[in-house]
Amino acid sequence: MTAIALPKDAPATPEVGDRLARLNALTRLQPASVILETALTEFGRGLAYVSSFGAESAVMLQLIADADRAIPVIFIDTGMHFHQTLQYRDLLTDQLELTDVRTVHPLSDHVRKHDVSGKLHASDPDACCEIRKVAPLAPALEGVEAWITGRKRSHGGGRVDLPVFEAAEGRFKVNPLLDWGAEDIERFMEARSLPRHPLTEQGYPSVGCWPCTVRPVDPRDVRSGRWAGRGKTECGLHLERRERPKVF
């Protein structure tokens, strides 16, 4: 199937709505493996996974390796990841024999113009995420019709009402793990003998960039250590354009 992106910033058409309804009906109450196989059948080589190689990423990466090791995996190296995350990326890539892991970087012109000191995260974390994470993803998704995410309803916030398939920002998104909780993640990790992100042993159940990641401030909320005290819960990858800062 040829990858054809949806029109950017356009409302979902009846055709898109019908397609979403069909896909969500097909995958209702289905396990993550079936959701992935359905996405592969629907989108073929127009399917990719955007991974942070964070604390829970090994689960989705293993499911992808089970389905098709050639599915492109896009990793955005913001320039501010913990070195342990970069090591974990390399370890999982090798162990799972993933054949198309693509590391993308912030555009140098953007960084020089807006964050030459590397301290924008302290004054405007939304703008920092826009420059170092959101903007680099756009060119990386050229030719991609649908991208897989690792989002889960159990993470709360705007994720509690996630559907399996959705359409946003000109593309489809697939959320195979939306109904997984911490116990599901743990069982799968143990059953498949998956290596842990090195920082989980140090008390980090959710790992992002080092300036904006601390141990959880609320033990009941695994993401409470992300942008703690900043009133921020998302990096921006899953926010609509109108919700993101106008940096450019």
pLDDT digits (tens, 9 = 90+) for 120-139: 999 999 999 999 999 999 99
DSSP of 8-20: TTPPPPHHHHHHH
What are the two backbone dihedrals, phi and then psi, of residue 103, each rounded to the nearest 5 degrees?
Answer: -100, 125
Yes or no: say if 59 and 177 are a contact pair by the CB < 8 Å rule: yes
pTM of the full structure: 0.88
pLDDT tens sequence across 56-101: 999 999 999 999 999 999 999 999 999 999 999 999 999 999 999 9
pLDDT confidence of 242, banded at 50, 70, 90? low
Cα separation, 93 vs 112, whole angstroms: 31
Yes or no: say if 130 and 247 are a contact pair by the CB < 8 Å rule: yes
Residue 8 lies inside a defined structural domain of this protein = no
pLDDT value of residue 235: 82
pLDDT value of residue 248: 66
Residue 4 lies inside a defined structural domain of this protein = no
pLDDT value of residue 21: 95
Residue 9 lies inside a defined structural domain of this protein = no
The better pLDDT of the pair 106, 16 is held by: 106
Domain range holding 134?
14-243
Cα separation, 115 vs 132, whole angstroms: 9
Tokens standing for residue 151: 């989002």
pLDDT confidence of 243, banded at 50, 70, 90? low
Cα separation, 202 vs 211, whole angstroms: 16
Residue 2 lies inside a defined structural domain of this protein = no
Q: What is the CA radius of gyration of the chain?
A: 17
- Cα distances (angstroms) measured from residue 48 to each of 61, 69, 234: 11, 11, 21
pLDDT value of residue 1: 32
| Helix/strand/coil for 49 | strand
pLDDT tens sequence across 6-26: 434 444 577 889 999 999 999
Question: What mean pLDDT, rounded, does the chain reach?
Answer: 89
pLDDT confidence of 236, banded at 50, 70, 90? confident
Report which residue type is found at 64.
I
Annotated active-site residue in 128, 129, 209, 235: 235
Residue 53 lies inside a defined structural domain of this protein = yes
State what percent of residues in the chain have pLDDT above 70.
90
Q: Is 209 a catalytic residue?
A: no
User: In which residue are the tokens 């009402």 written?
Assistant: 161
Q: Are strands 165-168 and 171-174 parallel, antiparallel or unpaired?
A: antiparallel
- Cα distances (angstroms) measured from residue 18 to each of 2, 108, 119: 19, 41, 45
171-174 β-sheet, strand order: 101-104, 73-76, 47-50, 146-148, 171-174, 165-168
pLDDT value of residue 230: 85
Cα angle 110, 166, 81 (rounded to 5 degrees) comes to 35
Domain count, the chain: 1
Cα separation, 119 vs 27, whole angstroms: 43
Domain CATH for 114: 3.40.50.620
